[in-house]
Amino acid sequence: MLKLASLYSGSSGNSIYISSKSTHILVDAGLSGKRIEKSMASIGGSIKNIQAILISHEHMDHILGAGVLSRRYGIPIYANEKTWEAMRVSLKKIDPDCIRIFLTGQPFKIGDIEVNTFSTPHDAIEPVGFNFCCNKKKVTIATDIGHIHKSLLNNLVGSDMILLESNHDIEMLKVGRYPWPLKQRIMSDKGHLCNDMAAKVVAYLAANGTKKFLLGHLSKENNFPELAFQTVKNA
């Protein structure tokens, strides 16, 4: 059985725990190693059991603690080649045995979990989302998405559970205090997914069999959990 626990999700840092009975994975490690260790302990887990850290893209809110955790516990870090090149300096010294490179779109296995990656539209060098498959169950992580296109949607269909970005309310963003260039970046095709678009995606996936949804990467400035939930619920 696949399980997903969102340890942290948002512009202040991201880290998601994926597990089966025998395999334990972190997707991103965008906070201090100490905070991630405490968060794992709070759900009854331990960083010592983590077998891999998968990196979606090189922004600091996704990689901040990855280097520390890898050095401290000998955890391999998985990313595509361009992302590795972009984050190598930020991660500092990593044991060569802990540097693992995957090809975007080519499946690989960690323990009993098959990992499939897919390209996402975001302003990073080669950002990806993740499908995790085990015992005929599929769990998907899709955040940091500027817009939805057919190829991306095809990777989401068939998920039993999905963590989907619902970053901002358009009107809150427009009238908020962010400078205009930042607003443009967030609303761009390589920015972040708004509540209204997330709602459309949820409605489509629900009609195609997905049962469980978790909304992630909510902005503290331009969203409220209740607003994101109601927008999706009303779709």
Q: Are 87 and 124 in contact (CB under 8 A)?
A: no
Beta bridge partners of 196: none
The rounded percent of the chain whose pLDDT value lies above 90 is 98
Give mean pLDDT, residues 47-54: 98
Q: Find, among 153, 152, 160, the residue nearest to 132 by Cα.
A: 160
Q: Which residues contact 182 (CB under 8 A, 6 or more apart)?
A: none
Unique residue bearing structure tokens 């990467």: 217
Q: How confident is the model at residue 11 (pLDDT cuts 50, 70, 90)?
A: confident
**What digits encode the pLDDT tens for the residues 182-209?**
999 999 999 999 999 999 999 999 999 9
Phi/psi for 2 (5° steps) reads -90, 140
Tokens of 146: 């500027």
Two tokens at 18? 């994926």
Q: Would you give the distance in Å from CA 101 to the centre of its chain?
A: 18
Report in angstroms the alpha-carbon separations of 158 from 115, 133, 140, 195.
15, 11, 9, 22
Contacts of 100 (CB under 8 A, 6+ apart): 52, 76, 77, 78, 79
Confidence at residue 56, expressed as pLDDT on a 0 to 100 scale:
99
Residue 144 has a pLDDT of 97
**Mean pLDDT throughout 63-78?**
98
C-alpha span between 158 and 211 (Å, rounded)? 10
Task: Tell me how long the chain is.
Answer: 235
Query: Is CATH 3.60.15.10 the classification given to domain 3-233?
Result: yes
Q: pLDDT averaged over the chain?
A: 97
Return the domain boundaries, the chain.
3-233
In sign, the C-alpha dihedral spanning 8, 11, 13, 14 is: positive
Model pLDDT for residues 142-197, shown as the tens digit of each residue: 999 999 999 999 999 999 999 999 999 999 999 999 999 999 999 999 999 999 99
Alpha-carbon distance 24 to 22, whole Å?
7
